[in-house]
A and B are shown apart, each in its own frame.
Chain A
Amino acid sequence: MRPVLPPRTLQELHTFEIKPKKAFAFNFKELVDYSELLYFFAWRDIKVKYKQTVLGFLWAVLQPLLLMLIFTFFIGRAMQVSSDGMDYAVFAYSGLVLWLVFSSGVTNAANSMVTNAAIIKKIYFPRLIIPVSAVVVALFDFIMAFVIFIVILLIFATPINLSLIYWWPLALLLTIVGTVGPGCLLAALNIKYRDFRYVVPFLIQALLFLTPVIYPVSSISLVWLRYVVALNPMYAAISVFRLPLSTVAPDWTLLVISLSSGVLFFIIGLAYFRRTENYFADIA
């Protein structure tokens, strides 16, 4: 006679507990469990974004390219702004390509919780997935624009230092950290205070001019002002990205300031998001 298999007992099953939430407990395991959902949210947003456009993915490339052309003619040529020993076009594009990750990443993330309110109210998943997937969408555009960047480097025959093997990934990492932090902070604030809907675009626009995207930090004559500019997390990311292309030695003090500010924003952003996360469904 065949032995009867014991029925699956409840003890063997996954046990879960629902209780009042602590404000700062961070569940990394859960985030990993839900990584597929992160992928699906990003995938949805990318699909939807380009589905109704005629040029589709070309837009991801056109935006930095056109901005680069405009800045090259009006800032580089007309105003003779210096560019750390690179062609101004290369200089501007290298800044813009990361800047656009930041600007669209932060903008998307800031609105993401509000646009997904209907889902938040009906189903549970770690809420962090939503702003993070908004940043992933921005990174997808970056990949497109990066391909063009390589083409531009070839056209201008820019001498490249092989140190890019570690500088570029680091720059990308800094961009992600620098984008996710403010993105999460603004996403949480936006759901609580809808005022931020109007603040974010203005903030992003102002920051473009406070970040050495289209001018080198060395062109700022007031030294203390350089420190103010370095408070911006994107300063470090963009400077590191340009290191393999530039002949000018970087200002390490400024880099460390910017890096610390990026990490600080990252921690504050995640902590604040986590603290308010539990109540999103109640106020959204």
Chain B
Amino acid sequence: MLPVLEVKGVSKKFSIRHESGYLSLRDRVTDLFKPAPSSREDFWALRDVSFDVQPGESIGIIGKNGAGKSTLLKILSKITPPTQGRIIGRGRIASLLEVGTGFHPELTGRENIFLNGSILGMKRHEITARFDAIVDFAGTERFLDTPLKHYSSGMQLRLAFAVAAFLEPEILVIDEVLAVGDAEFQKKCIGKMEDVSRSGRTILFVSHNMAAIQNLCTKSILLQRGELKAIGPSADIVTQYLTSLDSQILDTSGYIQVHPEESNKPIRAIEVLCDGRRSATAYMGCELEIRIYFKALEALTNPVLGIIIKDLQSTPLIGVNNRHYTGNFETTPINNGFISMKIPYLTLFEGMYHVDVHLGNEFKDIEVLQDCFQFTVEPIPFSSSGQLPLKSINRMFIKDITWILNSSDHVE
């Protein structure tokens, strides 16, 4: 049988200018008088990626930040053309790199359904035919004629996903849109995507959520620095990815340089301190501090640090930000410095853990580093017995548990 999608030797090159941001005419004019053009560097975001997708298969795309996942999705979505290679597809393709693309706050819910549907590639008669189902799925009937700006963000998201859910292409390209929304909504989305893949259509799905990948995708591909590292059954690829993380990210010193000084991304470095000393090895019950050094181009008016600690299966164990605890920092706008999170008594069980870092301002993430470092928790007996509970079934521990044996009769 013919594959639904044939990706043949796709490469993408970006030229990076080592100066800031947008071109300005002045730069162009002054370039004329410079002996050499301002320094440019070629960067291959994707290099010679080839794979086939058979009918009915769904493919997970896995890789670290910067591995080329987004570039591959953008090429598949025709947003940016490949520099070399080609892709042959059979069937209609639609992509969801974002939910609610083109939503306009001034327009009503009804108007936005039509606008967004049209942007996603639906014809007007298709939208009209599915209109009631979309509204029903979103559960926003009462607000159909209210401008979108009066919707809560949850409602906007539901409406956006509802429109997308009624796209019926043979090939659906999805970026990590599920990373947003509450748990119930995520479940609904995953459910809808399972329906799609069961109906024999193809999904290409990028995610850092290994559980979702294994759930939805029979096969996965692993990208590493723009190259296709492996392709195979999702379970194998996920394992390979998680083990590859170990070797790459483990930094024994407890200090990681993130972006160089001249970068326009804000996070400069991450430091892990255990009982006040820099170290990538913590122990059960220690005081763990994670410091994020930043230097932002635009001053942060209301910085927020979010930390997610996950186990090796990528299951999140702890996800916190300062808002959840002490609210906003009282600060004047700040460009550089560090934010630190200090856990006075670490209740993680012995093992290895990955960490995601979110640096935000107001209500927006300004930089997200997924699986950006890993640390080890060493076992230390925390109870008077000197023994530890079973490692295989524990991720967290509770220091003081009272155990009582009583010989009296059970009385109701």
**A contact residues vs B (CB 8 Å cutoff):** 10-11, 13-21, 36-37, 40, 43-44, 47-48, 51-52, 118-125, 192-196, 278-279, 281-283
Contacts and interface: CB of A to CB of B under 8 A. Distances in A.
Interface stretch (B30-38, B69-77, B300-308): B69-77
A198 B119 CA distance: 30
Contact of A123 (B4, B79, B92, B170): B79
Given A10-B1, A18-B82, A44-B104, A123 B90 contact: no
Interface string B104-129: 10110001001100111101100000
B130 to A, nearest CB: 15
Query: Interface size bucket, B side?
Result: 35 or more
B220 interface: no
B18 interface: no
Contact of A14 (B80, B92, B111): B92
B24 A17 contact: no
Contacts of A43: 115
Give 6 closest A-B pairs by Cβ, nearest first: A124-B78, A19-B86, A18-B87, A195-B25, A40-B118, A21-B81
B20 to A, nearest CB: 12
Given A17-B86, A47-B107, A122 B124 contact: no
Nearest to B200: A7
Given A20-B81, A48-B104, A279-B80, A40 B24 contact: no
B87 A19 contact: yes
B97 interface: yes
Contact of A52 (B1, B55, B82, B106): B106
B136 interface: no
Contacts of B102: 118-119, 123
B85 A10 contact: no
A18 B78 contact: yes
22 contacts: A15-B89, A15-B90, A16-B89, A16-B90, A17-B89, A18-B86, A18-B89, A20-B81, A20-B82, A36-B118, A44-B104, A47-B106, A51-B107, A118-B101, A119-B102, A119-B119, A123-B95, A124-B77, A124-B79, A125-B119, A193-B22, A283-B23
A11 B74 CA distance: 25
B22 A194 contact: yes
Q: Which of A17, A40, A51 has the most CB of B within 10 A?
A: A40
Given A123-B97, A193-B25, 15 more contacts: A17-B86, A17-B88, A20-B81, A20-B82, A20-B83, A36-B124, A40-B114, A119-B119, A120-B79, A122-B79, A123-B119, A193-B23, A195-B26, A279-B80, A283-B23
Contact of B106 (A20, A48, A194, A282): A48
Contacts of B104: 44, 48
Contacts of A20: 81-86
A123 B77 contact: yes
Nearest to B123: A36
B85 A37 contact: no
A10 B4 contact: yes
A48 B149 CA distance: 13
Contact of A18 (B22, B26, B55, B81): B81
A72 to B, nearest CB: 36
Q: Which of A122, A192, A278 has the most CB of B within 10 A?
A: A122
Nearest to B1: A10
Contacts, number: 117
A13 B91 contact: yes
B170 A13 contact: yes
A12 to B, nearest CB: 9
A11 B2 contact: yes
Interface in B152-168: none
A123 B122 CA distance: 13
A283 B86 CA distance: 22
Contact of B80 (A125, A193, A194, A282): A282
Contacts of B82: 18-20
Contacts of B111: 44, 47
Contacts of B98: 122
B329 interface: no
Nearest to B118: A40
A195 B120 CA distance: 32
A121 B1 contact: no
A21 B114 CA distance: 30
Given A19-B81, A278-B80, A192 B23 contact: yes
B118 A51 contact: no
B2 to A, nearest CB: 5
Contacts of B26: 195
B37 to A, nearest CB: 16
A281 B83 CA distance: 14
A209 to B, nearest CB: 24
A124 to B, nearest CB: 4
A18 B119 contact: no
A40 B119 contact: yes
Nearest to B124: A36
Contacts of B118: 36-37, 40
B97 A40 contact: no
Contacts of A52: 106
B14 interface: yes
A125 B2 CA distance: 27
A194 B24 contact: yes
Nearest to B3: A10
A20 B10 CA distance: 9
Q: Which of B77, B85, B102, B104 has the most CB of A within 10 A?
A: B102
A13 B206 CA distance: 25
A13 B170 CA distance: 9
B50 to A, nearest CB: 14
B360 to A, nearest CB: 19
B93 interface: yes
Given A123-B101, A281-B74, A282-B80, A195 B24 contact: yes
A67 to B, nearest CB: 27
B28 interface: yes
